[in-house]
């Protein structure tokens, strides 16, 4: 069975600085998707970034980028120029390429210090 592990329950970063959230996963599959979701107090899960496992190039979305290390089964999220609105829970997630279920980690709460 696939598992997703986030080892940092909470992190803090100064506004305008850069922060990296860690995620490792376990799978025997070769084709899958990885995601980072943001969950603000409104509770809605918002997709931040997604990575296809077959793509070697790391995904980027504006201030958000990932470091995808397939052999190490590592998928970290880097947030550059942190803003107050980035404060939220961040979940790393996995989905098999041929499946529909998303498997989430336990989340990392990110605090932005003004």
Residue closest to 21 by CA, chosen among 79, 60, 63: 79
Contact between 2 and another protein per CB under 8 A = no
Distance CA 22, CA 71 (A): 15
Residues touching another protein, count (CB under 8 A): 20
Contacts 24+ apart (CB under 8 A), 68-71: 68/34
Contact between 30 and another protein per CB under 8 A = no
Stretch that binds another protein, among 19-27, 46-54, 57-65, 69-77 (CB under 8 A): 46-54
Shortest distance, position 92 Cβ to another protein, whole Å: 9
Stretch that binds another protein, among 24-32, 64-72, 78-86, 90-98 (CB under 8 A): 90-98
Q: Is the distance from CB of 87 to CB of 31 less than 8 angstroms?
A: no
Residue closest to 107 by CA, chosen among 46, 23, 49, 25: 23
Contact between 85 and another protein per CB under 8 A = no
Using DSSP's 3-state secondary structure scheme, residue 84 falls into: helix
Shortest distance, position 67 Cβ to another protein, whole Å: 21
Q: Which residues bind another protein (CB under 8 A)?
A: 4, 42-47, 50, 91, 93, 95, 97, 100-107
């Amino acid at each position: 069975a696939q598992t997703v592990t986030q080892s940092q329950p909470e992190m803090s970063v100064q506004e305008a600085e850069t922060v990296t959230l860690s995620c490792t996963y376990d799978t025997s599959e070769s084709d899958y998707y990885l995601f980072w979701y943001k969950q603000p107090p409104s509770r809605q899960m918002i997709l931040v970034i997604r990575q296809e496992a077959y793509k070697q190039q790391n995904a980027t979305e504006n201030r958000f980028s990932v470091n995808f290390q397939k052999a190490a089964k590592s998928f970290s999220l880097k947030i550059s120029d942190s803003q107050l609105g980035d404060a939220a829970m961040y979940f790393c997630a996995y989905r098999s390429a041929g499946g529909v279920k998303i498997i989430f980690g336990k989340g990392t709460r990110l605090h932005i210090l003004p």
